[in-house]
């Protein structure tokens, strides 16, 4: 097949959507398909198989904010889009942003079958405007992206049943959905990694994700401030985002200052393997690749009970769950696991045994079949 993959965001692997996009692109290429990638990443200009569109210029204040979020927002160019679509058997849109929406409209007119991933909850957008608590704002986002993208799709890739239910409940329609985990790459696995000397006497807690309001890293910082083990806890917040300055200021009262850092992939997986606990405090999460990677490494993983987060489904039981945005309850859960090392070992083994459900190869085989089915359905 000739597959055009549309990526409004395709930069460094600092968030789950980019990781999922790159995994799909690489897998399809390995399977022998011709993959065309439509994206705004200027450094890929001229590279075979890449069709690069310009980046939106919103003016300095907004440009700076977008940069802090860690993305480049694509500006659709009809000529480049048509080049990427010419002769394609199927087009797969990763997220319902400007480039994806524009490409879907053109592909529909060209009668090219369209599939799309569902990698963006409404709250991921409305939280930037501080409207995520307003039902009408989130409902409006879901209705808009259905009208301008998902109604054209032969298949919709939902990473979890959870997000399929959220979307279909809001639009009040049954969609041609395929529930397929984004999967965890084979190199993300449990292995012996010695804790660096500088952390040898520390309790290392890792959390990975964009520094954003809905990711709730502030809850974790506040929880550690209340922990009875705070004098020994080294928090590592892997990522970047607009809340970095705020979170650094919030962290000043901690006995040990957290590490804020964008990690290369190999270093991040090493850090996952030597850390003592993994905490995923997000309020809004449609799957949570970072959380899945922690599970794949057999880490004791603590998650929020938020109704808008799928990661609570990964918890072994309620001992690994805290009340949403309740830093006192999160401190309680963290201290429980630090105080019970033998039970922690038992639970780590249970997490590790669950990891086989998210093997990347199996997930990518399902994604390939979804794309094949989309071309077959159109021809029929």
Does the residue 236 lie in any domain? yes
Distance in angstroms (rounded) separating the CA atoms of residues 339 and 289: 28
pLDDT score for 71: 58
The parent domain of residue 13 ranges over 2-183+359-379
The number of folded domains in the chain is: 2
Q: Are both 279 and 307 inside the same structural domain?
A: yes
Distance in angstroms (rounded) separating the CA atoms of residues 122 and 128: 11
Q: Are both 28 and 111 inside the same structural domain?
A: yes
Does the residue 188 lie in any domain? no
Distance in angstroms (rounded) separating the CA atoms of residues 304 and 299: 16
Residue 310 sits in a domain whose CATH number is: 3.40.50.2000
Distance in angstroms (rounded) separating the CA atoms of residues 28 and 46: 21
Q: Are both 292 and 169 inside the same structural domain?
A: no
Distance in angstroms (rounded) separating the CA atoms of residues 373 and 378: 9
Q: Buried b vs exposed e over 292-330: b needs ≥16 C-beta within 10 Å? A: bbbbbbbbbbbbbbbebbbbbebbbeeebbbebebbebb
Q: Are both 134 and 235 inside the same structural domain?
A: no
Q: Are both 332 and 372 inside the same structural domain?
A: no
What's phi and psi for 123, nearest 5 deg? -65, -25
Place of tokens 């390995």: 30
Q: Are both 208 and 316 inside the same structural domain?
A: yes
**Tens-digit pLDDT string for the chain (380 aa):** 999 999 998 876 667 788 889 999 999 999 999 999 999 988 889 899 999 999 876 666 655 655 555 556 788 999 999 999 999 999 999 999 999 999 999 999 999 999 999 988 888 888 877 887 788 999 999 999 999 999 999 999 999 999 999 999 999 999 999 999 988 888 889 999 999 999 999 999 999 998 988 899 999 999 999 999 999 999 999 999 889 999 999 999 999 999 999 999 899 999 999 999 999 999 988 888 889 899 999 999 999 999 989 888 889 999 999 999 999 999 999 999 999 999 999 999 999 988 777 888 989 999 999 999 999 865 44
pLDDT score for 354: 81
Q: Are both 341 and 370 inside the same structural domain?
A: no
Question: What DSSP assignment string belongs to 152-219?
Answer: G-SEEEESSHHHHHHHHHHHTS---EEE----B-TT------PPPGGGTTSEEEEEES---GGG-HHH
Q: Are both 221 and 350 inside the same structural domain?
A: yes
pLDDT score for 380: 41
Does the residue 287 lie in any domain? yes
pLDDT score for 379: 44
Q: Are both 214 and 100 inside the same structural domain?
A: no
Q: Are both 342 and 285 inside the same structural domain?
A: yes
Q: Are both 348 and 364 inside the same structural domain?
A: no
pLDDT score for 84: 97
Q: Are both 224 and 260 inside the same structural domain?
A: yes
**Which distant-in-sequence residues (6+ apart) come within 8 Å of 352 by Cβ?**
190, 295, 296, 297, 298
């Amino acid at each position: 097949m000739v597959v055009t993959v549309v990526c409004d965001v395709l930069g460094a692997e600092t968030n789950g959507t980019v990781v999922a996009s790159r995994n799909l692109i690489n897998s399809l290429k390995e399977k022998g398909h011709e993959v065309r990638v439509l994206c705004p990443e200027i450094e890929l200009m001229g590279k075979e198989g890449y069709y690069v569109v310009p980046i939106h210029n919103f003016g300095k204040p907004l440009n700076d904010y977008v940069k802090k979020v860690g993305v480049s927002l694509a500006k659709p160019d009809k000529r480049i889009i048509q080049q990427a679509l010419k002769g394609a058997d199927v087009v797969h849109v990763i997220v319902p942003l400007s480039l994806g929406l524009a490409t879907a409209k053109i592909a529909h007119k060209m009668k090219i079958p369209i599939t799309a991933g569902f990698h963006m909850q409404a709250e991921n957008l409305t939280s930037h405007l501080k409207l995520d608590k307003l039902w009408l704002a989130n409902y409006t986002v879901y209705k808009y992206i259905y009208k301008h993208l998902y109604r054209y799709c032969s298949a919709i890739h939902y990473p979890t049943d959870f997000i399929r239910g959220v979307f279909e409940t809001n639009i009040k329609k049954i969609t041609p959905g395929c529930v397929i985990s984004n999967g965890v790459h084979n190199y993300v696995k449990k292995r012996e990694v010695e804790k660096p000397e500088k952390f040898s006497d520390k309790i290392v807690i890792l959390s990975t994700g964009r520094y954003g309001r809905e990711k709730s890293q502030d809850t974790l910082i506040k929880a550690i401030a209340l922990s009875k083990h705070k004098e020994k806890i080294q928090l590592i917040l892997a990522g970047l985002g607009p809340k970095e300055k705020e979170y650094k200021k919030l962290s000043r009262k901690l006995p040990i200052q957290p590490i804020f850092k964008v990690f290369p992939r190999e270093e991040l997986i090493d850090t996952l393997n030597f850390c003592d606990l993994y905490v995923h405090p997000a309020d809004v999460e449609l799957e949570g690749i970072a959380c899945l990677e922690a599970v794949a490494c057999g880490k004791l993983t603590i998650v929020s009970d938020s109704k808008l987060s799928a990661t609570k489904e990964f918890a072994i039981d309620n001992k690994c769950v805290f009340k949403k945005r309740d830093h006192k309850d999160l401190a309680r859960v963290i201290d429980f696991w630090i105080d019970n090392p033998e039970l922690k070992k038992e639970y780590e083994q249970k997490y590790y045994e669950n990891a086989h459900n998210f093997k990347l190869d199996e997930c990518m085989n399902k994604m390939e079949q979804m794309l094949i089915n989309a071309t077959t359905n159109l021809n029929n």
